[in-house]
């Protein structure tokens, strides 16, 4: 029929092309959501669920205290049967905490426990493992601090240690080694503190002991030179002898004076008594000269000996005071000794707890979704104002 215009025939798409066309038309309005939210979330989920290596966590708890801790705290301090001085205990625990996260601890772990090799196992995924065959200490420390955490509870003063590694054995070994390193550090601090606190008292005691020994040696030499083991006793005995002789002399002179008016001086009795008086006078003079005469007398020797005895008494008192001060310093130093007490020992994990795949993927998804929503609102606002 002429004069009638018929539409050109449109070729019908086959089933495959129709499915793709409908899918494209359905997804096209959501292309930005897919690009900025769904695709990144899918990539992150693919890594964590298909590639990321399992990580195992070993945990341990400990407290650091002093022997003389007297401040009272509740909770674990009462359970464990001791009291903790809050501020000092926190300071001591922070000291251990800082050491366990330091270059020194990493260097010891690297040298003694193959720390680098444990984080470079072939089974670890390429993103999580420690790279470089011989990493620098700074890189190892940074990586180490991502897998080791040491924190203190301010209420209970318990320090929590957690170690994450890629095998249960590695996490367990590193955690136990860190506990031993903490105990070794506490012992080193105790040794230095003890030595520093008692060193002055020990030197004073040593000087006092030397002085006492020297004066005793001088006293021994004096006794040997004088040939007398007890010069003070000898002097006292000499005084007693002179006193006795003098008394006898006085008595003999009195008897002789009484005889002068009764009998003749030429009589044998008078002569005998006179001879006795003369003998006593000689003995008194001789013994008195030995006691207080010139030269090496008992009086001069006794003076030197008494001077040595006074010095010995002073040295002995000084030694006794130094010994008491040394014992007191030792007792005070022992009170300042630190102790690391394991509240919970390191456990060997059985089930991997990291990475927390579900939480990470959900967090990323929600974060991207919120960011996408904010961006969509901003773009919609700009378009609305441009109309």
- Rounded CA gap, 56 and 355, in Å? 9
Interstrand relation of 338-344 and 148-152 (parallel, antiparallel or unpaired): unpaired
* 21 falls within a domain: no
Same domain, 82 and 208: no
Instruction: Please tell me which residue, 331 or 103, carries the higher pLDDT value.
Output: 103
**What would the mean pLDDT of 19-33 be, rounded to a whole number?**
75
The two three-digit tokens of residue 258, written as one number: 């009484």
Same domain, 109 and 166: yes
* 277 falls within a domain: yes
Number of structural domains (the chain) is 3
Asked if pLDDT for residue 365 goes beyond 70, the answer is yes
Counting residues of the chain whose pLDDT is more than 90, the rounded percentage is: 32
Asked if pLDDT for residue 4 goes beyond 60, the answer is no
Same domain, 241 and 271: yes
- Rounded CA gap, 341 and 66, in Å? 11
Same domain, 159 and 76: yes
Tell me what pLDDT residue 74 has: 47
Tell me what pLDDT residue 186 has: 92
- Rounded CA gap, 361 and 44, in Å? 7
Beta bridge partners of 341: 63
Task: Show the beta-strand stretches assigned E in 49-201.
Answer: 56-66, 148-152, 159-165
Same domain, 312 and 323: yes
**What would the mean pLDDT of 187-215 be, rounded to a whole number?**
88
- pTM for the model stands at 0.65
pLDDT band at 369 (very low <50, low <70, confident <90, very high): very high
| Residue 292 φ then ψ, to 5° | -130, 15
* 26 falls within a domain: no
**What would the mean pLDDT of 179-201 be, rounded to a whole number?**
89
* 313 falls within a domain: yes
Task: Show the beta-strand stretches assigned E in the chain.
Answer: 56-66, 148-152, 159-165, 338-344
Tell me what pLDDT residue 374 has: 92
Residue that the structure tokens 């040394």 belong to: 326
Beta bridge partners of 344: 61
Tell me what pLDDT residue 140 has: 94
Asked if pLDDT for residue 13 goes beyond 60, the answer is no
Asked if pLDDT for residue 278 goes beyond 70, the answer is yes
Same domain, 218 and 345: no
Strand ordering across the sheet containing 159-165: 148-152, 159-165, 56-66, 338-344
| Residue 337 φ then ψ, to 5° | -65, 140
Counting residues of the chain whose pLDDT is more than 70, the rounded percentage is: 77
Instruction: Please tell me which residue, 237 or 305, carries the higher pLDDT value.
Output: 305
Render 213-272 in DSSP notation, one character per residue. Answer: HHHHHHHHHHHHHHT-S-HHHHHHHHHHHHHHHHHHHHHHHHHHHHHTTTS-TTSHHHHH
**What would the mean pLDDT of 56-61 be, rounded to a whole number?**
95
Per-residue CA distances from 198 to 31, 282, 320, 327 (Å): 77, 64, 16, 9
- Rounded CA gap, 236 and 256, in Å? 30
* 205 falls within a domain: yes
Same domain, 233 and 187: no
Same domain, 61 and 190: yes
223: number of Cβ within 10 Å: 15
* 219 falls within a domain: yes
Tell me what pLDDT residue 65 has: 87
* 11 falls within a domain: no
* CATH code of the domain covering residue 180: 3.30.1890
- Rounded CA gap, 8 and 13, in Å? 16
Instruction: Please tell me which residue, 126 or 77, carries the higher pLDDT value.
Output: 126
* 22 falls within a domain: no
What is the chain's mean pLDDT, rounded? 80
The two three-digit tokens of residue 143, written as one number: 């990586």
Same domain, 81 and 109: yes
336 in Cβ contact with 197 (< 8 Å): yes
Same domain, 196 and 253: no
The two three-digit tokens of residue 76, written as one number: 């674990």
The two three-digit tokens of residue 367, written as one number: 């974060």
**What would the mean pLDDT of 20-41 be, rounded to a whole number?**
80
Same domain, 235 and 286: yes
**What would the mean pLDDT of 25-38 be, rounded to a whole number?**
82
| Residue 12 φ then ψ, to 5° | -75, 125
334-361 residues labelled b (16+ CB within 10 A) or e (exposed): eeebbbbeeeeebeebeebebbeeeebb
Domain that holds residue 169: 54-200+337-353
Same domain, 161 and 224: no
Asked if pLDDT for residue 5 goes beyond 60, the answer is no
Which of 130-144, 238-252, 320-334 is predicted with the least confidence, judged by mean pLDDT?
238-252
Peptide bond into 13 cis (omega under 30): no
């Amino acid at each position: 029929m002429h004069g009638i215009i018929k539409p050109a025939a449109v070729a019908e798409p086959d089933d495959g092309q129709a499915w793709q066309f409908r899918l494209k038309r359905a997804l096209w309005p959501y292309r930005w959501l897919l690009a900025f939210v769904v695709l990144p979330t899918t990539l992150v989920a693919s890594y964590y669920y298909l590639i990321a290596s399992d990580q195992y966590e070993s945990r341990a708890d400990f407290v650091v205290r002093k022997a003389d801790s007297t401040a009272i705290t509740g909770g674990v301090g009462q359970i464990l049967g001791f009291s903790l001085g809050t501020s000092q205990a926190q300071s001591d625990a922070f000291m251990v905490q800082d050491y366990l996260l330091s270059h020194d601890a990493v260097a010891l772990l690297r040298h003694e426990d193959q720390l680098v090799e444990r984080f470079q196992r072939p089974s670890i995924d390429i993103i999580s493992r420690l790279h470089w065959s011989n990493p620098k200490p700074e890189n190892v420390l940074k990586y180490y601090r991502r897998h080791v955490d040491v924190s203190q509870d301010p209420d209970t003063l318990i320090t929590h240690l957690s170690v994450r590694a890629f095998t249960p054995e590695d996490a367990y070994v590193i955690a136990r080694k860190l506990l031993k390193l903490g105990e070794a550090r506490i012992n080193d601090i105790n040794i230095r503190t003890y030595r520093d606190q008692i060193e002055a008292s020990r030197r004073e005691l040593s000087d006092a002991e030397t002085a006492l020994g020297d004066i005793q040696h001088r006293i021994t030499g004096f006794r040997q030179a004088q040939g007398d083991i007890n010069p003070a006793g000898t002097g006292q005995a000499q005084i007693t002898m002179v006193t006795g002789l003098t008394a006898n002399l006085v008595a003999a002179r009195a008897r002789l004076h009484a005889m002068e008016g009764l009998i003749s001086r030429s009589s044998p009795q008078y002569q005998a008594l006179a001879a006795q008086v003369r003998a006593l006078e000689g003995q008194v003079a001789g013994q008195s000269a030995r006691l207080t005469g010139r030269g090496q007398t008992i009086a001069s020797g006794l003076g030197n000996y008494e001077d040595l005895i006074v010095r010995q008494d002073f040295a002995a008192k000084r030694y006794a005071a130094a010994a008491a001060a040394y014992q007191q310093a030792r007792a005070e130093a022992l009170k300042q000794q630190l102790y690391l007490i394991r509240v919970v020992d390191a456990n060997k994990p059985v089930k991997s707890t990291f990475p927390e795949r579900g939480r990470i993927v959900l967090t990323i998804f929600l974060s991207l979704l919120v960011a996408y929503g904010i961006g969509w609102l901003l773009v919609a606002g700009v378009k609305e104002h441009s109309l």
